[in-house]
Amino acid sequence: MSQIKVRFAPSPTGNLHVGNLRTALVNFLFARKAGGQFMLRIDDTDTERSTAAFEECIRADLTWMGMAWDVEDRQSERLDRYDAALVQLHADGRAYACYETPEELALKRKAQLSAGRPPVYDRAALKLTAEQIAAFEAEGRQPHWRFRLEDAEVRWHDMVRGDVAYHMSSLSDPVLMRADGRVIYTLASVVDDIDHGISHILRGEDHVTNSAAQIQLFEALGAQAPTMGHMALLAGADGEGLSKRLGSLSIAELRNNDIEAMSIASLLARIGTSDPVVPTAQMARIIDGFDITRFGRATAKFDPAELAQVNAKVVQELTFAAVAERLDAVAVGGGEPFWMAVRDNLSGVGEAGDWWQICTQPITPVIESANVTSAAADLLPDGDLEASIWQDWTKAIGAVSGAKGRGLFMPLRLALTGREKGPEIAPLLAFMGRERVLARLRGETA
């Protein structure tokens, strides 16, 4: 496994959220930093919940994020391969058929817990006689299949957690195939990783126990387990775990809320590390600054308020060419000069359109100080307005009205824009035009 190759393997049963996007991003950044391959594998064996619509959304989100994959595959097209692996494991004595119903298994777990014992499968299926098996099959029971774990300690050096050890006696033999013939993630994922030559598995810490069992499964199938790294899961700002069903944190929703892809990438690439978040509009910079060894074991907190702050800084780095297609009215009417006039005060690209409307469409001005606005109207220079008039004009207004500081500039802002906050007024004058500026200073809707 000299070639570094990682995979992101989403199940198309829902939209991407910040938690699983972070897993995808870490894999993507790791591969790109090392000059390796990033694979998209669609884990669509859950036929009841997987949909083409969810898959399309996953692909759209990754594409929007700028996370192009080098190769792809899907589990639904590899079912014969999983069947063959199960046959191999059975022949080697590492997979065995179990005939308990879900209800019987639930009763066993309940009895174990009531007795203070861990709910570990008791391997009763290994003690069945041929007659008992025949009787079950005569009833029409179909077996589910389990992987027989070896009674040993599994150790590995985790890229995030350091040295990890799990003794298999604390785990149940994992199910590989359901009674209805549907393959379980445990088997399908390992077979895929072997066949696709995956060199590193980077995923959430909720998979640590799975990894311990899967390492034995890799070995049982004659392969060496990939290098593994298990990141702490994301929590909300309040420390509570993030739910992948929380729509407000889905990537689609963030995109619809005017959040930039690189703002999300800038934040997710660094939270959970000891390094500061560096807002940037360039994926190349994020790749260059990525280091998987910087991730710690402490719970990483995702704060939408922090994302908003990062987003504002990223927006203020964007060129007009990068946003022109998203701002038709601004692009046609104001172009790059307008974008540069408002960019440094925006928290989202869409706000540029709002400011274009303020500058070019009628608003009802707010007259806070008629003394200031009246003087401003009287002293407004003739001809076309340019940003260069601002200093001398406001100086003259102050001299006549006696206003200064906030008492001078806030009445002008309210009259000309109707808002208390926003971009510098001086460069906006040219887009408002002399007649509109004059009318607003006089308190007229214009």
pLDDT grade, residue 2 (50/70/90)?
Answer: low
What residues contact 240, with CB distance under 8 A and at least 6 apart? none
User: What are the structural domain ranges in the chain?
Assistant: 5-73+187-232, 80-177, 236-315, 320-360, 370-441
Q: How much of the chain exceeds pLDDT 90, in percent?
A: 90
Say what the pLDDT of residue 95 is. 98
SS3 state of residue 6? strand
Which tokens in the block code for residue 301? 């907190």
**DSSP H/E element including 38:** strand 37-42
Give the burial class of 235: count Cβ atoms within 10 A of its Cβ; 0-12 exposed, 13-18 middle, 19 or more buried.
middle
Q: Does position 3 have pLDDT exceeding 60, yes or no?
A: yes
Domain 80-177 fold is Glutamyl-tRNA Synthetase; domain 3 (3.90.800)
Assess contact for 431 and 341: CB atoms under 8 A: yes
**DSSP H/E element including 82:** helix 79-91
Cα gap 267→276, rounded to integer Å: 9
Assess contact for 168 and 153: CB atoms under 8 A: yes
pLDDT grade, residue 241 (50/70/90)?
Answer: low
DSSP secondary-structure letter at 168? Answer: G
Across the range 284-312, mean pLDDT stands at: 94
Say what the pLDDT of residue 329 is. 85
Assess contact for 295 and 273: CB atoms under 8 A: yes
Say what the pLDDT of residue 61 is. 97
pLDDT grade, residue 332 (50/70/90)?
Answer: confident
Say what the pLDDT of residue 354 is. 95
Kindly calculate the radius of gyration of the chain based on its CA atoms and give it in whole angstroms.
Answer: 31
- Domain 5-73+187-232, CATH number (from 2.60.120.10, 3.40.640.10, 3.40.50.300, 3.40.50.620): 3.40.50.620
Say what the pLDDT of residue 239 is. 66
Extended beta strands in 225-312, E state: 227-231, 234-236, 300-302
Say what the pLDDT of residue 336 is. 95
* Higher-scoring residue by pLDDT: 31, 242: 31
Across the range 141-155, mean pLDDT stands at: 96
Domain 370-441 has CATH 1.10.10.350: yes
Cα gap 189→75, rounded to integer Å: 9
Which tokens in the block code for residue 84? 């063959």
- What is the separation, in whole angstroms, between the first and last Cα of the chain? 69
For the stretch 246-297, pLDDT in tens is 445 899 999 999 999 999 999 999 999 989 999 999 999 999 999 999 999 9
Q: How much of the chain exceeds pLDDT 70, in percent?
A: 97
Q: Where do runs of H (alpha helix) occur along 115-196? A: 130-138, 185-195
Domain 236-315 fold is Glutamyl-tRNA Synthetase; domain 2 (1.10.1160)
**DSSP H/E element including 73:** strand 71-74
Q: Where do runs of H (alpha helix) occur along 361-433? A: 370-379, 390-401, 406-417, 429-432
Say what the pLDDT of residue 331 is. 80
SS3 state of residue 26? helix
Across the range 166-191, mean pLDDT stands at: 95
The overall average pLDDT reported for the chain is: 94
* Higher-scoring residue by pLDDT: 234, 216: 216
